[in-house]
Structure 1
Amino acid sequence: MAGIPPEFAPYFALLEVGALVQHGVEQQVRDEGGISFVQFQILAGLDESPDGSRTMTEIADQMVHSRSGLTYQAQKLEEAGYLTRGPAPGDERSTVATLTPAGREVLARVLPGHMAVVADILEPLSPPDAVELTRLLDLVRTRMRARPPRSAVRRSRK
């Protein structure tokens, strides 16, 4: 076996760090909010919106999550009373998710612990290191986001 070329080291480091970060925050949001990491991402994304609403397609594209998986998670959040879903004004084909007061409450309960977990994860970085890491990750993200969003890519039929 020839081994993995050294230029793949950043890729494997990124995969490992991503998995470790997700595991750490997944446990925290589950323990403190009774929600999954994906559900936290949905609620946080809605909270970032000025009116607390976004189309399901916008959420899926931002999260890079399958539409069916996102629909399932949104259904669970709706059943818990954390969001509502309905047709988009002027576009009956689109579905809009809207954060409810109960959704804002669960975010308020989870966010302090979430911020503490993230601060602990980033603790080894000096402020200049954090700026440089952000700059480097932005380069990769910008390149990847320049491609069509998942919702715009035609699905292959089997």
Structure 2
Amino acid sequence: MTSTARSLDATELGAYFALIEASSLLRHAVEQQLGEVAGLSYVQFQLLATLGDAPGGSRRMTDLADGVVYSRSGLTYQAQTLERRGLVTRAPAPDDERSVTVSITDEGRAVLADVLPGHVGVVDDLLLAPLTRQDVETLAEILTRARDHMRRTPPRSAARRRRRAAGPGATT
């Protein structure tokens, strides 16, 4: 991140606030739909969708946390909740037993299949309906560029943990 202080002009400020408000409105509607259809939170849906698209239906917890930009501890709680419902399983990674691998179950795939049509409907109605195909292509290109720029600074979940033995003031 840059630490250069500057003011945003009216257009930049308007774009920022429009993005934040549109994102909040869309997320609220999506969360309502997910909760009503399957009792899922937005993060739980992200986890199931990510696992559903992953080769073999499995990913390491750290990779999941980085992908959904969620804390490791928060993701652990969400994975435990999904595991209690029988939607995922967790196990030590085959190549590193300190790592945990999360896998989607058949029941998890069925829940994902149940919520996807309504999810797509909400996204289509609220986000895509007022846009032309050209608008969608432009929006996708712009947001991909912005996301890729932000991803150059890894989320906290991807930052290396410091050793406690590093001395006073060291953080983990």
The two structures have a TM-score, normalised by structure 2, of: 0.85
State the Cα RMSD in Å: 1.8
Displaced runs of 4 or more, over 6 A: none
Identity %: 53
1:112 matched residue in structure 2: 117
Aligned length: 156
Q: Residue 74 of structure 1 aligns to which amino acid in structure 2?
A: A
Give the equivalent residue in structure 2 for 1:123: 129
Q: 2:61 is matched with which residue?
A: 56
Please identify the structure whose Cα radius of gyration is greater: 2
Task: Name the CA distance, whole Å, in 1 between partners of 2:71 and 2:9.
Answer: 31
The 5-angstrom pairing of residues 75-114 of structure 1 reads: 75-114=80-119
Distance 1:78 1:86 in 2: 11
1:157 matched to 2:171? The reply is yes
Render the CA deviation track for 1:91-137: whole Å, top value 9, x for unaligned: 01110000000000100111111111111021000100000111110
Distance (Å, rounded) in 1 between the aligned partners of 2:39 and 2:154: 34
Superposed, 1:22-37 pairs within 5 Å as 22-37=27-42
1:7-18 equivalence runs, <5 A: 7-18=12-23
**What secondary structure, in the 3-state scheme, does the structure 1 residue paired with 2:31 have?**
helix
Label 1:152 to 1:41 Cα distance change in 2 as closer, same or farther (>3 A).
Answer: closer
Aligned partner of residue 92 in structure 2, secondary structure: strand
Structure 2 unmatched ranges of 5 or more: 1-6, 162-169
Equivalent residue letter for 1:25: V
